[in-house]
Amino acid sequence: MSFVATLAAGLSNPARFMSVSRWLAPVLGVGAALALLAGLALGLTAPDDYQQGPTVKIMFIHVPAAIMSMAAYGCLAGASFFGLVFRHSLADAAAKAAAPLGAAFTALALVTGSLWGRPMWGTFWVWDARLTSELVLLLLYVGYLALHAAMDDELKGARAAAILALVGVVNLPIIHYSVQWWNSLHQGETIFAAGGSKASPVYLAPLGLMMLGYLLLFGALWLVRTRTEVWRRRAAVRALKAAR
């Protein structure tokens, strides 16, 4: 725990962050590519499910995307908190960088979920609690980005967007527990079910690799986007000074 705290404190320094992220982002990217390729290879060769047939393999894309949609929002909200409370410019840059990535994972989860739901439920979409709350998550990401860009004063836009991000955290437990709180067509917890996973062991290895690949991919892209945002802000400051 102390190591994580020390690492977080060190990376909160913009200069140190830029130095570390320069080599860490490519390392995470290579790890993501290897994990995703291995996961896809195992997933495509996995046997069909006795009930769902070959459509079960959508799980290897859908489940990690759904998990990462919430994990990315947690990162967005955490960075927004530090940016809002402590006025930390790097935290705000990290929050802004995470939003499009989270939106992409959420959109992927919704699309693949619809493709999976069509043969299972007979329709691409139902106003199910899990699906609806996941759609709300996508709208929160879009709202965050729109609010951030809507104001001429970038600082005010960042604060308003951070408040929205923190308010939206209430949606995360709703997504997670929706299948328990309401009647739902969506299946309940399978991988992390109480008492052990309910999924067949033949699916766990590719699913685990895909989850790892998604996580590393998010980490790599988040670092790259944050670095880009830092450079953009530095260029804006220099341009403003030159104009004077």
Break the chain into its structural domains and give their ranges. Answer: 30-44+56-229
Q: How far is Cα 32 from Cα 36, in angstroms, rounded to an integer?
A: 6
Each residue's pLDDT, cut to its tens digit, for the chain (244 residues) gives 444 444 455 556 788 899 999 999 999 999 999 999 999 999 988 887 767 777 788 899 999 999 999 999 999 999 999 999 988 889 999 999 999 999 999 999 999 988 887 887 778 878 888 889 999 999 999 999 999 989 888 889 999 999 999 999 999 999 988 877 766 666 666 665 555 556 677 888 899 999 999 999 999 999 999 999 999 988 877 887 777 6
Contact in structure between 134 and 66 (CB atoms under 8 Å): yes
Q: How far is Cα 34 from Cα 31, in angstroms, rounded to an integer?
A: 5
Contact in structure between 158 and 83 (CB atoms under 8 Å): yes
The candidate with the shortest Cα–Cα distance to 206, out of 39, 3, 8, 1, is 39
Cβ count near 6 (within 10 Å): 10
